[in-house]
Amino acid sequence: MTMSSEYSAELRAAARGLERRRFLTLSGAAATLAFTVGLPGMASASAPELAATQVTSNPFTLGVASGDPQHNSTLLWTRLAPEPLVADGGLPAARISVSWELASDEQFRRVVRRGQEWAHPEFGHSVHVDVQGLSPDREYYYRFRVGTWVSPVGRTRTAPAPGAPVRSMRFANVSCQRYDQGYYTAHRYLAQEDVHAVFHTGDYLYEYAVSAVGGARAYTDRVLPATVSLETATLDDYRIRYGLYKSDPDLMAAHAAHPFVVTWDDHEVENNYADETSETNGPVADFLLRRAAAYRAYWENQPLRRPQFPNGPDMQLYRRLNWGRLAQFDVLDTRQYRTDQANGDGWKLPTAASEAESQTLPGLDQEKWLTDGWARSKAQWNVVAQQVTFSRRANPNGDGTLSMDSWDGYPASRQRLIDGWKNSLPGRGNSGRELMVLTGDVHVAYGFDILDDWADPASKVLGTEIVATSITSGGNGSAQPSNWANYLARNPHLKFYNGLRGYVLVNLGRESADVDWKTVSRVTTPDGTLVTAGSFTTEAGNPGLVTR
């Protein structure tokens, strides 16, 4: 199949029609949202003030976090919740003054910035502090204070200065952490790793009900409240679910140890949704209300800046970060703008519907934003943090079906990006420019070579795709799932496949990138052990995964 890298008049017309329909739909939904969800302005001070001395229980039960490191700033986060499993966090509808400090040492002898922020009840008493004027490529420590209560200490860092000749950068990729399917042992080990940042590529939480004993965690010393035993739908539901997830000590440790760069997949709202289309194809207005609640709770509970603050059912999540001249990170959103999955979703044979030029996974604007960013990039490594499998993935059972929810269900969109990457290369070669795609979603670890022609295993390798297995989703898993041999045989560009839980470490360097898949032996009990399940290298100028 041949697809043009340019947007045809037909494709542009289809996009304009989609935007018109979306405008009409969202205009009606926005009016409803104003009354049912109530989104105040960021500077709202309508709530009365509660003196910090009146907070009588530990408000820092959800820990601290930082995110999106820039060369002169970092974003610090916490959320006050003495009772994390109730919608209001156990606090009255009043704003609370929160003090914060940022220091160059863990003992806070050298405080470089300090200030105060309001924790507003309208935003779940969350606090987002964008600390400016920092030195590049530095490690910092931070903490919050409310009255006599002091938060745990977090560690963060800034990125190198623009254009800085950075020699190496080490990061982790994680995804899919369903609470009721296991313990966050992988996060406990991740907290001990020496990384500059953690990329979370989606499914931070799941909308499904959690049993009173925590599902597979099988608690014997606690009983979870009924508020978590239902599927999330309202703002209160999502706030409580984040309270459950973020109160996990291993997840809190990982956040405190490293800055996170987050993006969502589907379960932060609902399984396999596509733009304004719900999993069940229910009324659009109803789903957009749910999406607005989910997006707002996501922003409240993540280390995100104000440009990411949601506007009703919309939220600008895709963004770009840089690490000197070494790396450009393009963080995608492949849920909010995608066309609906073709052929009824699931694993299906490709059809004219799935291969239509109008099918787009990130939306046309985001496609152009990405390819334009590649064209302007001065970085050696161009890393795309996104959600669903980018490489072609033939069904191991040999029936020819492909996943309609992944990029295989949107091949025209994928081809436009591949063409955009090739067109961005100097002299149309790989000299000085490397492509890496980070992925989550599938609850297994994959390492793919990205081919110029998926039908020809001998075609040129354009880059690598690094797929993180889940933190817990899917339970314990196995190192070699039953379809392991068939998967490798039917996908010769698949260089690594493992079905245990864990995370990926990537060490970018000027001459190569080293990739280590870390897995834990089990997650249904909290005593899982960590091993390195696979170690690969991809050379600069010679892309492709090679065992090391």
Largest Cα–Cα distance of the chain, in whole Å? 68
* Cα 255 to Cα 303: distance, rounded to the nearest angstrom: 10
**Confidence (pLDDT) at 412:** 98
Q: Residues spanned by CATH 2.60.40.380 within the chain? A: 52-156
Model confidence at 13, pLDDT cuts 50, 70, 90, reads low
Summarize the confidence of residues 428-457 as an average pLDDT. Answer: 91
429 CB contacts (<8 Å, ≥6 apart)?
none
Model confidence at 296, pLDDT cuts 50, 70, 90, reads very high
SS3 308: helix
Summarize the confidence of residues 8-29 as an average pLDDT. Answer: 51
Quickly count: other Cβ atoms within 10 Å of residue 72's Cβ: 15
Helix (H) or strand (E) holding 428: none
Average pLDDT score, the chain: 93
Domain spanning 52-156, CATH architecture:
Sandwich (2.60)
Fold of 169-547: Purple Acid Phosphatase; chain A, domain 2 (3.60.21)
Q: Which two tokens stand for residue 276?
A: 């304004």
Q: Which two tokens stand for residue 352?
A: 């004219």
**Confidence (pLDDT) at 42:** 45
23: pLDDT strictly greater than 50: no
**Confidence (pLDDT) at 21:** 46
**Confidence (pLDDT) at 39:** 39
Helical residues (DSSP H) of 232-333, grouped into ranges: 235-246, 249-257, 284-300
Nearest to 477 by CA among 445, 440, 448: 445
Q: Residues spanned by CATH 3.60.21.70 within the chain? A: 169-547
Summarize the confidence of residues 146-172 as an average pLDDT. Answer: 97
415 CB contacts (<8 Å, ≥6 apart)?
3, 5
pLDDT digits (tens, 9 = 90+) for 332-358: 999 999 999 999 999 999 999 999 999
pTM of the model: 0.94
Over pLDDT 90: what percentage of the chain? 90
Summarize the confidence of residues 306-334 as an average pLDDT. Answer: 97
* Cα 457 to Cα 450: distance, rounded to the nearest angstrom: 10
**Confidence (pLDDT) at 429:** 53
Q: Which two tokens stand for residue 232?
A: 């999330």
Model confidence at 9, pLDDT cuts 50, 70, 90, reads low
Summarize the confidence of residues 188-197 as an average pLDDT. Answer: 98
**Confidence (pLDDT) at 47:** 80
**Confidence (pLDDT) at 25:** 53
Count CA within 13 A, CB hemisphere, residue 427: 5
